[in-house]
C-alpha cells in the first residue's frame, strides 16, 4: 500500500513539473510582475527563488539577461522579453520560444535595471545553473561565487554536479567546496561530523572560516537552563568569569529585571515633578545633596509617578532567581565537540608551520646577509681594512645587472651575463681602490675608515649623476616568479631560494679557493702572519690587492642577487653595510665559517624580533643591535674566533 502511495506521489510531482514546463516561464513572470518591475532588494527574493526553482531550461537565459540589464517589459500587456537595440528601436525576443515578437520604440517599453544588491541575488540564483554549464569558465565562476557567498540552498545542486564534472581541477574544487558547505549547512549531524573530521588536517583559511562559527558562544540568562540549549559552561555571578554588575546587566538586556536608576534619571524625575517649591515632602532648596534627592525620589516612586529604586537586595534576589550560562551558536553538541577538537589540531599545526615559515624566512635573510658580507669578511679578515664603501660595491653590481638588461632583453640570459660582468666591474674597481688609496693607509684604521667613507659618498653621487635618483628595475627571469607554497601558512619566493643556492655555491667556491689554490694558501698565510709570509717569498702587497679585488667582486655579485628583489638605487648599499659589518664581527673576523654563523645568528635574531614586534621594524633593528653589543661584550672575537698568531693582534 505504501509503495502504491509513493508511486502515485511521484507521478503527481512529475505531472506538476511537466505542466509547469508546458506553461512556460512567462506565466511565472506575470505572477511576480509587480516585484520584478520594481526590482527592490527587499521584495525581489521570492520572485528570483521561484524562477530558479522552476526547473525550466530557459530560466538560466532569462536570469542572465536580467542581470545584464537587457530585459524589457512591454507596457501594453506587462510581458517580459529579452531586448536588443537595432535601428533606433528595440527588437524583443520571447524567453519561452526564442522567437522575435517584433520591434518597439523605447517609449513603449520599460527597461529593468537591477541595482547591485538585486544583481548579487540573481548571480547567486544563477550559480545552480552555471555549475553544470558547458562552459568551463562559467563553472569556475560559479564556484568562485559560492566561495564568496556560501549558501545552504546551493549544497544539493553542487553535489549533483560533482559526478558529471569533466575537468579534474574543477571536480576537486567542487568536492572540497561540498565538504565546506556540508560543515555549515547540512541537516544531517553525522554527515557534518564526518566532514569536519575529514577537513581537520587542512590548514587553509576557508576551513577555519567554516569551523569558527560553530564554536562561537553567547552569554545568556534565564530562569532555568533550556533543555534544548547547547551549553558550554555555567557561570556564577560574582566569579572571575562574571561579575555581579555584568550579570545584572545581562538580566536587564534579557528583559528579566528592571534597569538600575541612574543619578541622571533621578534628577530628571525630580525636575519633572516639582510641585510649587517641593518635590514630595522635600523642599527644592534641599535637593542639592544626595540623601535629600533619594528621599524625594522614593516619595515619587511610592506615589507611582516614577519607577522604584533598585536596591542591592533586589539585585541579589534577581541574581539568585536566575541562572547564567554560555551557549554555542551551533545547537548540536556533537558538532561543536568535534569542531573544537579539529580547531585545536589545526591551531597546533598552524603554530608548527608558522615556526617553519619563520625559519625559512630567517634562513633566506641569513643567506642574503652572508652573500653581502662574504666579500667584507675576506678584506676585513685578511687585510684588517674597514671598508665603508663595501655597500657601494653591492650597489655597483646591481646597476651592472640593470645595464646588462638594457642590451640583453632575455632576462635569464641577462642574469647569466650580469653575474660575471658584475664581478669583473667591481673586481677592477676594488683593485683600483686598493692600489690608489688603501695601500697607503695600512695599519692606520681611522684614516682608512674616513677615506673609504669618502669614497662611498663619491660613488653614491656618481651613481645618482649617471642613473638618476629613481629606482631602476632589475627584472628576474620568469621562472623565478611566484613562490614555493607548501600550504596556506608556509611559502617562500623562488628568488629567495635562488639567493640561498647562490650563497651555498659561493661558500663552496670560497672554501675551494682557500683550501685548494695557491692564492688561498697565500691569503691564509698573510692572515696568520704577514711578516713571516713575506719572508717565505709571498708578496703581501699582491695578495692584499687580489684579496681586496676578490672581496669587491663577490660584493658585486651579491648586488645582482639583491637587486632582483630590492630597489636598485644609489642608496642600496646603505641597507646592507651595517648588517655586513655585524655579520663579520659577530661571526669572527677572518673566518668564512664565522661569517656564515654570524649571518645565521643575525638573520634568525632579526626575524625573531620582528615576529615578536611586527608593527615596528625600526624598534626590531634597535633591539637587534643592542643584543649584538651585549653579545660582543661577552665574546669579543665572535662566534668562531681566529686561530694562530693573528688571533692575538
User: 350-400, pLDDT tens digit by residue?
Assistant: 888 889 988 888 898 888 888 888 888 877 766 777 888 888 999 999 999
Q: Are residues 358 and 420 in the same domain?
A: yes
What pLDDT, on a 0 to 100 scale, did the predictor assign at position 246? 92
Asked if the structure places residue 301 within a domain, the reply is: yes
* β-bridge mates for residue 220, sequence order: 325
Q: Report the alpha-carbon distance of residue 590 to residue 29 in Å, rounded.
A: 85
pLDDT above 60 (res 562)? yes
Residue 459 CA to residue 396 CA, distance in Å, equals 9
How does residue 288 score in pLDDT terms, banded at 50, 70 and 90? confident
pLDDT reading at 421 higher than 90: yes
Name the residue with higher pLDDT: 596 or 421: 421
Confidence band (pLDDT; 50, 70, 90) for 16?
A: very low
Q: Which residue has the cell 689554490?
A: 517
pLDDT at 648 over 70: no
Q: pLDDT category, 18, cuts 50, 70, 90?
A: very low
Same domain, 317 and 180: no
Both 471 and 576 in a single domain?
yes
More confident residue, 21 or 52: 52
Q: Residue 342: inside a domain, yes or no?
A: no
Helix axes 45-52, 116-130, angle to 10 degrees: 20
* pLDDT of 235 over the 50 cut: yes
The answer on 321 and 198 residing in a single domain is no
Q: How far apart are CA 132 and CA 155, in angstroms?
A: 14
pLDDT at 642: 57
Q: Is 242 within a domain?
A: yes
Same structural domain, 442 and 385? yes
User: In this predicted structure, what is the pLDDT of residue 382?
Assistant: 65
What is the Cα gyration radius of the chain? 39
Instruction: Based on the fold, state whether residues 200 and 230 are members of the same structural domain.
Output: no
Task: Return the pLDDT at 641.
Answer: 63
- Is the predicted pLDDT of residue 19 greater than 90, yes or no? no
Which pLDDT tens digit goes with each residue over 57-73?
888 888 889 988 899 99
Closest CA to 607 of 353, 350, 348, 356: 356
What is the pLDDT, as a whole number, of residue 22? 47
Q: Residue range 198-215: average pLDDT?
A: 88
Mean pLDDT of all residues in 632-639:
79
419 and 515 inside one domain: yes
Q: How far apart are CA 586 and CA 627, in angstroms?
A: 11
The C-alpha cell that represents 443 in the structure block: 695599519
Lowest-pLDDT range of 99-108, 191-200, 508-517: 508-517
Q: Can you give the pLDDT at residue 645?
A: 42
Comparing 246 with 645, which gets the higher pLDDT?
246
Helix axes 592-612 and 333-383, enclosed angle (nearest 10) = 140
* Beta bridge mates, 81: 72
Q: Is 3 inside a domain boundary? A: no
Once rounded to an integer, what is the mean pLDDT over residues 227-242? Answer: 89
Mean pLDDT of 430-455: 88
143: Cβ contacts below 8 Å, ≥ 6 apart = 131, 170, 173, 174, 177
Does the pLDDT value for residue 138 go beyond 90?
A: no
Choose between 629 and 195: higher pLDDT. 195
For the cut 70, the answer to whether the pLDDT of residue 223 exceeds it is yes
Q: What's the total number of domains in the chain? A: 4
- pLDDT > 90 in the chain, percent: 23
Range of the domain at 309: 217-328
Cα distances from 64 to residues 32, 71, 73, 200, in angstroms, run 18, 9, 16, 38
pLDDT, tens digit (0-9, with 9 covering 90-100), for 451-485: 999 999 999 999 999 998 888 888 888 888 888 88
Domain boundary residue, one of 328, 343, 367: 328
Q: Residue 606 contacts by C-beta under 8 Å, 6 or more apart in sequence?
A: 362, 365, 620, 621, 624
In a domain, 635, yes or no: no
Query: Do 284 and 206 have their domain in common?
Result: no
pLDDT for the residue 616: 62
pLDDT surpasses 70 at 520: yes
Q: Is the pLDDT of residue 489 over 90?
A: no
Task: Please indicate, yes or no, if residue 631 is contained in any of the structural domains.
Answer: no
Residue with cell 536580467: 66
Residues 295 and 237 occupy one common structural domain = yes
Confidence of residue 284 (pLDDT cuts 50, 70, 90): confident
Q: For 538-547, what is the mean pLDDT?
A: 85
Is the pLDDT reported for residue 592 higher than 80?
no
Q: How many helices (DSSP H) and strands (DSSP E) are in the chain?
A: 26, 12
> Looking at the predicted structure, is the pLDDT value of residue 14 above 50?
no
Q: What is the pLDDT of residue 643?
A: 55
Domain closes at, from 110, 130, 150: 130
Is 636 inside any structural domain? Answer: no
Rounded mean pLDDT, 539-560: 88
**In this predicted model, which residue has the larger pLDDT, 126 or 463?**
463
Residues 110 and 206 in one domain: no
246 and 202 together in one domain: no
User: How confident is the model over 610-630, as pLDDT tens digits?
Assistant: 887 766 666 677 777 888 888
Verify that 479 and 396 share a domain, yes or no. yes
Would the pLDDT of 194 be above 90? yes
Residue 511 has pLDDT above 70, yes or no: yes
DSSP state of 549: H
For the entire predicted model, the pTM comes to 0.67
Tell me, what's the pLDDT at 8? 47
| More confident position, 399 or 271 | 399
Residue at 373 is within a domain: yes
Domain boundary among 215, 232, 259: 215
d(CA 11, CA 72): 37
Across 498-512, 578-592, 624-638, which has the greatest mean pLDDT? 498-512
Amino acid at each position: 500500500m505504501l509503495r502504491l502511495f509513493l508511486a502515485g506521489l511521484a507521478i503527481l510531482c512529475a505531472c506538476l513539473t511537466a505542466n509547469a514546463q508546458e506553461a512556460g516561464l512567462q506565466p511565472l513572470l506575470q505572477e511576480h510582475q509587480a516585484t520584478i518591475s520594481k526590482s527592490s532588494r527587499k521584495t525581489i527574493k521570492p520572485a528570483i527563488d521561484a524562477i530558479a526553482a522552476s526547473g525550466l531550461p530557459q530560466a538560466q537565459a532569462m536570469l542572465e539577461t536580467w542581470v545584464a540589464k537587457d530585459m524589457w517589459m512591454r507596457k501594453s500587456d506587462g510581458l517580459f522579453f529579452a531586448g536588443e537595440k537595432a535601428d533606433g528601436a528595440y527588437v524583443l525576443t520571447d524567453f519561452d520560444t526564442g522567437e522575435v515578437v517584433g520591434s518597439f520604440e523605447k517609449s513603449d517599453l520599460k527597461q529593468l535595471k537591477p541595482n547591485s544588491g538585486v544583481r548579487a541575488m540573481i548571480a547567486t540564483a544563477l550559480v545552480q545553473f552555471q555549475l553544470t554549464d558547458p562552459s568551463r569558465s562559467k563553472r569556475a565562476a560559479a564556484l568562485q561565487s559560492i566561495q564568496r557567498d556560501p549558501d545552504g540552498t546551493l549544497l544539493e545542486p553542487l553535489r549533483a554536479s560533482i559526478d558529471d564534472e569533466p575537468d579534474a581541477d574543477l571536480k576537486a574544487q567542487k568536492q572540497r567546496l561540498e565538504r565546506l558547505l556540508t560543515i555549515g549547512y547540512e541537516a544531517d549531524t553525522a554527515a557534518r561530523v564526518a566532514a569536519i573530521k575529514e577537513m581537520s588536517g587542512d590548514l587553509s583559511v576557508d576551513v577555519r572560516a567554516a569551523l569558527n562559527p560553530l564554536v562561537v558562544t553567547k552569554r545568556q540568562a534565564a530562569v532555568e537552563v533550556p533543555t534544548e540549549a547547547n551549553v558550554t559552561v555555567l557561570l556564577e555571578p560574582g566569579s572571575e568569569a562574571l561579575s555581579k554588575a555584568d550579570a545584572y546587566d545581562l538580566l536587564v538586556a534579557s528583559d528579566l529585571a528592571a534597569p538600575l536608576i541612574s543619578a541622571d534619571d533621578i534628577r530628571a524625575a525630580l525636575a519633572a515633578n516639582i510641585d510649587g517649591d517641593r518635590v514630595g515632602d522635600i523642599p527644592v532648596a534641599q535637593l542639592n545633596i544626595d540623601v535629600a534627592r533619594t528621599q524625594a525620589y522614593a516619595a515619587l516612586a511610592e506615589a507611582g509617578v516614577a519607577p522604584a529604586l533598585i536596591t542591592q537586595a533586589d539585585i541579589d534576589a534577581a541574581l539568585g532567581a536566575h541562572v547564567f550560562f554560555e551557549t554555542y551558536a551551533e545547537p548540536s553538541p556533537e558538532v561543536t565537540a568535534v569542531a573544537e577538537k579539529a580547531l585545536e589540531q589545526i591551531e597546533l599545526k598552524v603554530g608548527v608551520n608558522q615556526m617553519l615559515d619563520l625559519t625559512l624566512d630567517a634562513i633566506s635573510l641569513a643567506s642574503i646577509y652572508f652573500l653581502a658580507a662574504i666579500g667584507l669578511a675576506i678584506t676585513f679578515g685578511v687585510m684588517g681594512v674597514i671598508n665603508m664603501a663595501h655597500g657601494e660595491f653591492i650597489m655597483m653590481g646591481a646597476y651592472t645587472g640593470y645595464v646588462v638588461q638594457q642590451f640583453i632583453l632575455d632576462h635569464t640570459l641577462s642574469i647569466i651575463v650580469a653575474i660575471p660582468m658584475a664581478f669583473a666591474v667591481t673586481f677592477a674597481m676594488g683593485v683600483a681602490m686598493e692600489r690608489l688609496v688603501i695601500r697607503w693607509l695600512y695599519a692606520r684604521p681611522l684614516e682608512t675608515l674616513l677615506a673609504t667613507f669618502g669614497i662611498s659618498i663619491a660613488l653614491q653621487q656618481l651613481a645618482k649623476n649617471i642613473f638618476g635618483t629613481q629606482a631602476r628595475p632589475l627584472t628576474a627571469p620568469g621562472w623565478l616568479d611566484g613562490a614555493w607554497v607548501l600550504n596556506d601558512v608556509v611559502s617562500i619566493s623562488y628568488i629567495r631560494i635562488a639567493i640561498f643556492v647562490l650563497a651555498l655555491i659561493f661558500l663552496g667556491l670560497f672554501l675551494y679557493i682557500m683550501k685548494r689554490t695557491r692564492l688561498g694558501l697565500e691569503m691564509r698565510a698573510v692572515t696568520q702572519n704577514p711578516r713571516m709570509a713575506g719572508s717565505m717569498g709571498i708578496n703581501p702587497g699582491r695578495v692584499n690587492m687580489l684579496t681586496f679585488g676578490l672581496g669587491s667582486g663577490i660584493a658585486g655579485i651579491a648586488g645582482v642577487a639583491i637587486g632582483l628583489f630590492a630597489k636598485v638605487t644609489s642608496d642600496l648599499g646603505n641597507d646592507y653595510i651595517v648588517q655586513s659589518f655585524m655579520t663579520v664581527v659577530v661571526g669572527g673576523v677572518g673566518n668564512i665559517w664565522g661569517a656564515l654563523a654570524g649571518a645565521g645568528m643575525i638573520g634568525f635574531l632579526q626575524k625573531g624580533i620582528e615576529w615578536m614586534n611586527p608593527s615596528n621594524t625600526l624598534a626590531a633593528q634597535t633591539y637587534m643591535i643592542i643584543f649584538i653589543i651585549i653579545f660582543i661584550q661577552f665574546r669579543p672575537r665572535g662566534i668562531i674566533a681566529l686561530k694562530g698568531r693573528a688571533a692575538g693582534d
